[in-house]
Amino acid sequence: MTLSTQFLTMLAMIAMGSFFGASLDTYKRFFKRSAIKRWIIFVNDILFWIFQGLLTFYVLYAVNMGELRFYIFIALFCGFAAYKGLFQDIYLKVLETMISVFISIYQFIVKLIQLLIVRPIQLLIMTAITLVLFFGRGLFSLIKMALSIVKWLLMCIWKPIQLLMLFLWKLLPKNIKNSVEKLYNKLAGIFRKIKNYVYKVYKRINKKKK
């Protein structure tokens, strides 16, 4: 390994140490341990360390083909210590500022969507429902009024017909009246027998089911 490669490796590992410190603070900031179950915390911690290890090895492989030296671990520790001593407060302030900015942008977008999309849709739906109810009530009233008019017309038509039929019935000879009454009584008797027969069959069927 040449001196230039070793120098680049040192710089890369110092940068990775600082990056690890920033990643750890970011992970702690977004991952609330008190509100999450222990097994989820355990899994997330393992995934975090695996990701950091793979990323560090990838950078090391890109710089010196993955050759490990003792000074690499020292460089990582120095980078982490430099981040803790020099950059942590600045980074945390920048992180909080970015989070606040993103939250403000998100809230603005949500309010904008509600103002331009959700509320107009709600207004249209409420207007449509109001119109449907209004026209529905109007239509119901019209139908009710039309039925009343039809009923009144039928009564006006049927009353004269009924009176005319009574008048004609009185004019008929007695022998025709007697024949009509006999025919009516026969038909009534036949219908009564059919009704009784159907009722008996219905009772038998119910008894069999029980």
Q: Per-residue pLDDT tens, the chain, 210 aa: give them.
A: 577 777 788 888 888 899 988 988 888 888 776 667 777 878 888 888 898 888 888 888 888 776 777 778 888 889 889 888 888 889 899 999 999 999 999 999 999 998 888 888 888 899 888 888 888 888 888 888 888 888 887 778 777 777 777 777 677 677 776 777 777 778 878 888 888 888 887 777 776 655
- Looking at the domain assignment, is residue 147 inside a domain? no
Q: Residue 210 has what pLDDT?
A: 57
| CB proximity list for 172: less than 8 A, separation 6 or greater | 180
Cα 83 to chain centroid, rounded: 46
Residues 93 and 179 in one domain: no
Structural domain including 47 reads: 3-97
- Looking at the domain assignment, is residue 130 inside a domain? no
Domain count along the chain: 2
Q: Is 67 helix (H, G, I), strand (E, B) or coil?
A: coil
- Looking at the domain assignment, is residue 50 inside a domain? yes
Domain stop point among 54, 72, 97: 97
Q: Which residues of 163-190 are buried (b: 16+ CB within 10 A; e: fewer)?
A: eeeeeeeeeeeeeeeeeeeeeeeeeeee
- Looking at the domain assignment, is residue 69 inside a domain? yes
Q: Residue 209 has what pLDDT?
A: 59
- Looking at the domain assignment, is residue 207 inside a domain? yes
- Looking at the domain assignment, is residue 113 inside a domain? no
- Looking at the domain assignment, is residue 134 inside a domain? no
41 burial (CB, 10 Å; 0-12 / 13-18 / 19+) is middle
- Looking at the domain assignment, is residue 23 inside a domain? yes
